[in-house]
Amino acid sequence: MTIGQAAGLKLGKAVRDAFGTALKELGNEFPTVVTVDGDVGNSTRTEVFAKAFPERGFNVGIAESNMVGVAAGLAAAGKIPVVSSFAAFLTCNAYDQIRMCVAYPHLNVKMVGSHAGISIGEDGASQMAIEDIALMSALPGVAVVVPADAPSTKHLVKGMLEHHGPVYLRCGRIDVPEIYGPDSVLTIGKANQLRDGKNLTIIANGLMVGIALDAAVALEAKGISARVLDLHTVSPIDQEAIVKAVKETGRLVVAEEHLPHGGVGSAVASVTAQLAPCPIEFVNIGNTYAESGDPEGLLKKYGLTAEAIVAAAEKVCSR
């Protein structure tokens, strides 16, 4: 994996791994946390928690709808359930249950989707969540959080457990570069500026943050100065940071591992249209399903590269 190389970042753990470890480490501090799995705890890494706290881990089998309903019942009875599956199955297969049993009554359920995006690779489109941000952001009162790396995941998992109300946490499968240090502080709802710049701002989250930082380095070489904002929380969105970016840099590129509709790009575009209209270019997989392949090959084929961000930045600067 070459992500983060240009920016001088070193490869760290996958977000899902950091999630599993963090959950286990927080297990004693949050004694009402329980996990509810749909037979993929070894993929989502809730297994790490469930092995450490066997009485607090439930596996209800391959039955995502029931899984979410059970989690809602546990929450209504005072637990903090962390319910997880592949992001595609959690968000798509149990959407009505999330809507009715979690979002509508605003129950304290933490929903974690692993294997988000096309970077999962060889398993192909059926296992890739490329619409989960659209779906989960369309739930009033649900916080939608997309960590960029392992260290920030640790913080955001704690933030998620402390937050009162439903949260969706999106995790990737593959190892990603470390962007944050162990002491970085991240707050749900507050975007994080990773690099300043004056010609444009690249807004990204998840896997795309490292790629955005690479792109910023390449742009610098071309004389374009790019601010990079980690928009780890998509909902509620940090309007202030976005407006500030527009005011100070004039234009935006939004990069996300998602399809165009309903993702970070359209959320940002709604904010700017209302508060600070400006040119934006969007970097995403396009309006398509992806396919099987190696993660790096897929990212390239579906346009999620530093080169694509550079091209978008050049384009937006020329508008």
Partner 1 sequence: MNLWRHGVHWLREDLLLNKFSRRLPSKEYRVAIFKPLSLDEMKAKTKVLRRHIVRMTTEAGSGHPSSSMSAVEMVTALFFGGFMQHDPAQPRWNNRDRFILSKGHAVPVLYAALAECGYFPVEELMTLRKLGSRLEGHPNMKRLDCIEASTGSLGQGLSVGVGHALACHMDGLSAHTYVMLGDGEMGEGQVWEALASAEKYKLANLTAIVDQNGYQQTGATKDVLKLTEFQPKIESFGWHVQTINGNDIEQVIAALTIARSIKDRPTAIVSKTQKGFGILPVLAPTGDLNYHGKPLSKELAEKALALLAD
Ligand X SMILES: Cc1ncc(C[n+]2csc(CCOP(=O)(O)OP(=O)(O)O)c2C)c(N)n1
Stretch that binds ligand X, among 38-46, 106-114, 172-180, 288-296 (CB under 6 A): 38-46
Q: Taking the complex as a whole, how short is the minimal distance between the CB of residue 115 and ligand X, in angstroms?
A: 9
Nearest to 165 by CA among 113, 107, 112, 97: 107
Tell me: does residue 247 bind a copy of itself (CB under 8 A): no
Closest CB to ligand X among residues 44, 153: 44
Tell me: does residue 96 bind partner 1 (CB under 8 A): yes
Q: Taking the complex as a whole, how short is the minimal distance between the CB of residue 123 and ligand X, in angstroms?
A: 8
Nearest to 249 by CA among 220, 270, 278: 278
Judge whether 162 counts as a catalytic residue.
Answer: no
Helix 15-26 vs helix 150-162: crossing angle, to nearest 10: 40
DSSP string, 182-220: TT----TT--EEEE--SSEEEEE-TTHHHHHHHHHHHHH
Q: Are 214 and 3 in contact (CB under 8 A)?
A: yes
Stretch that binds partner 1, among 97-105, 110-118, 146-154, 272-280 (CB under 8 A): 97-105
In the shown chain, the binding pattern of residues 140 to 179 toward a copy of itself, with x for contact by CB under 8 A and - for none, equals: xx--------------------------------------
Tell me: does residue 62 bind partner 1 (CB under 8 A): yes
Q: Taking the complex as a whole, how short is the minimal distance between the CB of residue 67 and partner 1, in angstroms?
A: 8
Order of strands, sheet of 110-114, starting from the edge strand that comes earlier in the sequence = 57-59, 33-37, 80-86, 110-114, 167-170, 143-145, 233-235
Q: Are 292 and 232 in contact (CB under 8 A)?
A: no
Q: What percent of the residues of the chain are helix, what percent strand, and what percent coil, each to the nearest 5?
A: 45, 20, 40
Tell me: does residue 95 bind ligand X (CB under 6 A): no
Three-state secondary-structure class, residue 24: helix
Tell me: does residue 293 bind partner 1 (CB under 8 A): yes
- Taking the CA atoms of 127, 54, 145 and 230 in sequence, report the sign of the dihedral they define: negative
Residues found near partner 1 in the complex (CB under 8 A)? 34, 37, 39-43, 47, 55-56, 58-63, 65-79, 81, 88-89, 92-93, 96-97, 99-101, 104-106, 121-127, 291-294, 297-298, 301
- Residues with a catalytic annotation lie at 64
Residues found near a copy of itself in the complex (CB under 8 A)? 88-89, 92-93, 95-96, 99-100, 103-104, 125-126, 131, 134-135, 137-141, 235, 252, 259-262, 265-270, 272-274, 277-282, 287-289
